[in-house]
Copies of this chain bind each other. A is one copy, B any other.
Amino acid sequence: MTTLLILDPQADAYNAFVQNADLPGLQVMLATDPSELPEDTALAEVVLASPRLLVGALPRLTRLRWAQSTWAGVEALLADGLPRDYLLSGVKGVFGNQMAEYTLCYMLAHERQVIQRSDSQRRGVWDHRIPGKLAGKHAVFLGLGSIGAECALRCRHFGMRTSAVTRSGSPSALVDKHFSVDQLAQAVIEADYLVMSLPGTAETRHLVDAQILGALPSHAVIINVGRGESLDEQALVSALEAGQLAGAVLDVFEREPLPPGHALWTCPGVIVTAHTSAVSFVEDIAPLFLANLRRYLAGDKPDYLVDFARGY
A positions within 8 Å CB-CB of B: 97-98, 101-102, 104-106, 108-109, 111-112, 114-115, 117-118, 121, 124, 126-131, 133-135, 154, 157-159, 257-258, 260-261, 265, 271-277, 279
Contact = CB atoms under 8 A, between A and B. Distances in A.
A50 to B, nearest CB: 14
- Shortest 7 CB-CB contacts between residues of A and residues of B: A105-B108, A126-B257, A128-B274, A157-B157, A121-B272, A126-B274, A105-B112
Nearest to A104: B108
Contact of A276 (B109, B128, B272, B273): B128
Given A102-B112, A114-B109, A257-B126, A131 B276 contact: yes
Among A121, A260, A279, the one with the most B-chain Cβ atoms within 10 Å of its Cβ is A121
A121 B276 contact: no
Contacts of A133: 97-98, 101
A101 B279 contact: no
Number of copies: 2
A101 B97 contact: no
Contacts of A128: 274-276
A97 B159 contact: yes
A109 to B, nearest CB: 5
B112 A115 contact: no
Contacts of A157: 154, 157
Contacts of A276: 127-131
Nearest to A105: B108
B115 A108 contact: no
Contacts of A101: 108, 111-112, 133-135, 158
A127 B257 CA distance: 10
Given A129-B276, A130-B279, A271-B121, A105 B97 contact: no
A124 B271 contact: no
A104 B104 contact: yes
A108 B279 CA distance: 16
Given A133-B101, A157-B157, A274 B127 contact: yes
Nearest to A107: B105
Contacts of A106: 114
Contact of A105 (B111, B130, B271, B277): B111
Contacts of A257: 126
A202 to B, nearest CB: 27
